[in-house]
Amino acid sequence: MRRVAKAHPVREAFLACARSHVPLALALLISIAASIVLSLLPPLVLGRIVDSLVAGDAAVAALAGLYVACVFGQGIADAAQQAAISAFGQKATHALRSRMAAKLDRLPASYFHEHEAGAVAARIVNDVDAVEALFASGVVGMVVDTCQVAGIICAIFLESPGLAALVLIALPAVVLWTRMIQRATRSARRDARSAIAQESAQIPETLRTLRMVRMLGCQRFMERRYAVAIDKGFEAQSRSNLCDAVYSPLVIAISALVIGVMMSMAGLGGPWADLFGITVGGAVTAMNYVGNVFNPISDIGMELQSIQDAGAAVTRISELLEEPEEVHATVTPADHKAAAVVLDHVSFGYQKEAPVLQDFSLRVETGERVTLVGRTGAGKSTVLSLIMGLYQPDEGSVTVLGQAAGTIAPELRRKSYGYVEQGFRRIPGTIEDEVSLGDMAETRDAAIAALKKVGLWDSVQRLPEGIETLCTSQTFSEGQFQLLGIARAIALDPPLLLLDEVTAHLDATTEARIMAALDAAAEGRTVISVSHRWADAGRGGRLIEIGASS
């Protein structure tokens, strides 16, 4: 059976951009070709000008005009090339970032459990920037410079075969030197990218735990952790800078040596003069070409380093785009008449070697209230995650409203179950946006009804713009934000309500208000909660202990 080669996701993103912007891609190719051709003309015309001056030819003025035109043409072609590269690179990276953002929506929750938020953000921001640099100053630049080198060698051969032979002898030395620098910088570039990813991951981690850090006086500890990543990045970047600093001087020295040898051999006369001898104008042309041929070689070395720099970024982006996606086996509406939740001999662990649940079974009938209790880490919140389909069990099955958990279509989930967690997660937007989450299936009337049911509507009406007031961290108290979270969960009237320690961080007065709101929200629904207080107040119905020895 023939194996089909798998397309590289980053390459596919750029090819898709080229197919979508054909005129821009053609403009890029034309500007590159014009830049290469026009870069060869000025030294050639300049040599002819010098020869005309020596011979007293009257055509000097016309040649001077042609030289100026060639220089201006080369400048315009270079500018057009850079503009086309920049425009195409921006569109390609925009498409790549859009593709990565869409990919995040399709990844299972386990991916975000295993990868820090800062590291994921670094892939979308820093790594895509590196890919853009790879395209702008790496691959495209290397193609242009390689074509220029080939063209210049051909032009030098027409002027002086001996000089062309010297250049061809010197080129392997330059290439070897370039290869040595490339190898020396490879680990430095890789270490630098890794250090940047560590730094990016630690910043949101520090912000997320800032209150705890201040309360426990752990500033020095966090500073040391961040300093380690900074030092690693500085050391790696220093090694890379050292390679950059020593590379170009040797290339320039080889260029000067080639010119010196050519002049010396031409001055020996005899057969050497036939091989190396050229006119005065030819000497000017040759010196310009020799200088120009080594400049692209030097640039190719830098471009190879840029490619090396982006190599790790391309790998990380490809890994993200190739991650297995969440699979939805069905798009049919959930069956609200079936048993609300069934967990049948479920075993699950976030890591295979450390199971959280082992052979756990639970059946919750429609309209029933169940409270999960047990020690910390026993798996109470994990059960809720399995019910919502955020994770798939390692063994056994989880059925919600007659369907396998996780197979309910995304557009139907909020109509099937609502979820309230310990703290409210605010999004940018108005009060209405906080309740609706931008769901077009939810009307304003539904949002208002949910706010009334949890007892928050009167507070909303007192805001400057009512339900259209922009929601900030100062808009509500912690308890009111929790009421807003309950309103969000029941806005689309789901038959199943999941509660995860909703009152864990509230004072007694606020807790009483939240409990009353939960009573109203739970009316007519199946409720599965993780809350000792809910159970202690007699609202939890059946108690299920998780993690108890059998």
Could you write out the DSSP letters of every residue in 520-532? HHHTTSEEEEE-H
3-state secondary structure of 303: helix
φ, ψ dihedrals at 454, nearest 5°: -90, 0
* Strand pairing category for 496-500 and 417-420: parallel
Taking Cα atoms as reference points, which of 308, 311, 327 lies closest to residue 319?
Answer: 311
**Which residue(s) pair with 527 in the sheet?**
369, 497
Extract the residue ranges of the chain whose pLDDT is less than 70.
Answer: 1-10, 135-138, 182, 186-187, 263, 266-279, 294-295, 297-298, 301-302, 304-306, 308-309, 327-339, 504-508, 532-540, 548-550
- CA pair distance 87, 309, nearest whole angstrom: 22
**Which residue(s) pair with 530 in the sheet?**
500
Residue 46: CA count within 13 A, CB half-sphere? 15
Angle of helix 60-106 relative to helix 22-55, nearest 10 degrees, comes to 160
pLDDT (0 to 100) of residue 1:
37
Tell me if 539 sits within 8 A of 522, measured CB to CB: yes
- The dihedral built from the CA positions of residue 161, 163, 164 and 166, taken in this order, carries a sign that is positive
- CA pair distance 20, 104, nearest whole angstrom: 23
Is the model's pTM score more than 0.75?
Answer: no
Tell me if 130 sits within 8 A of 292, measured CB to CB: no
pLDDT (0 to 100) of residue 136:
66
What the block records as the tokens of 490 is 């029941």
* Strand pairing category for 395-400 and 341-348: antiparallel
- CA pair distance 388, 400, nearest whole angstrom: 8
Helices (H), 209-348: 210-216, 219-266, 270-276, 280-321
Tell me if 308 sits within 8 A of 142, measured CB to CB: no
Taking Cα atoms as reference points, which of 132, 125, 123, 145 lies closest to residue 87?
Answer: 132
